[in-house]
Amino acid sequence: MKKNLKETVGPGVFTPWQEVDVEICAFVDLGIKVVVNDEYTGLVYRNQIYDKYQKGQKLKAYIKCVREDGKIDVSLQPNQGTHVFLTAEKILKHLKAAGGKSRLHDKSSPEDIKKEFQVSKKVFKQAIGHLYKQFKIKITDKGIELIK
């Protein structure tokens, strides 16, 4: 890990959901410790990790919040509204590549959804709900289908 990293940040340095560059530096009990913008340390909580990562990996991430103690909570996904929109786009691409049908739907297991789309079941359900309301998909007991 880089030397002279700041463990805390003052008010106003980051805004919520600001995009930052991170490098994964350690896997800890609480989640993943990251270096933020080559200057600060931050933490991605275990329950918000939807993919496999490696030490030294560099990614775009988002400032979830700066806590009262000055420590930085980081998210590897954009804020919820943006995340739902991006997931909806990912689902449409998946459906087009799969011939218009997917076995995944709102009753699928969180593990299957996470494995296919690297998102929580909650975000997946919001994304398919969004696509359903736009009449882009139909939801059946066998999965979801593109509406032609």
Range(s) of the domain holding residue 123: 80-146
CB 38 within 8 A of CB 4: no
Kindly give the pairing relationship between strand 40-45 and strand 72-75.
parallel
pLDDT exceeds cutoff 70 at 1? no
Please tell me whether residues 71 and 99 are part of one structural domain.
Answer: no
Any idea how long the chain is?
A: 148
Please tell me whether residues 101 and 127 are part of one structural domain.
Answer: yes
Please tell me whether residues 142 and 98 are part of one structural domain.
Answer: yes
Residues whose CB is less than 8 angstroms from the CB of residue 102 and which lie 6 or more positions away in sequence, other chains included: 91, 94, 95, 143, 144, 145
3-state helix, strand, coil in the chain (%, to 5): 30, 30, 40
Read off the pLDDT band of 3 (50, 70, 90): confident
Please tell me whether residues 71 and 23 are part of one structural domain.
Answer: yes
User: What DSSP letter does each residue of 53-76 carry, written as one string?
Assistant: --TT-EEEEEEEEE-TTSPEEEES
1 domain residue, yes or no: no
Q: What pLDDT, in 10s, does the model give residues 77-109?
A: 888 778 888 899 999 999 999 999 999 998 999
110 domain residue, yes or no: yes
Query: What distances in angstroms separate CA 115 from CA 11, 49, 133, one per listed residue?
Result: 37, 12, 25
The count of domains in the chain is 2
d(CA 3, CA 40): 10
75, 103, 120 - which closes a domain: 75
Q: What pLDDT, in 10s, does the model give residues 27-80?
A: 999 999 999 999 999 999 998 898 899 999 999 999 999 999 999 999 998 887
Six-digit token string for 47:
């329950």
Please tell me whether residues 109 and 60 are part of one structural domain.
Answer: no
13 domain residue, yes or no: no
3 domain residue, yes or no: no
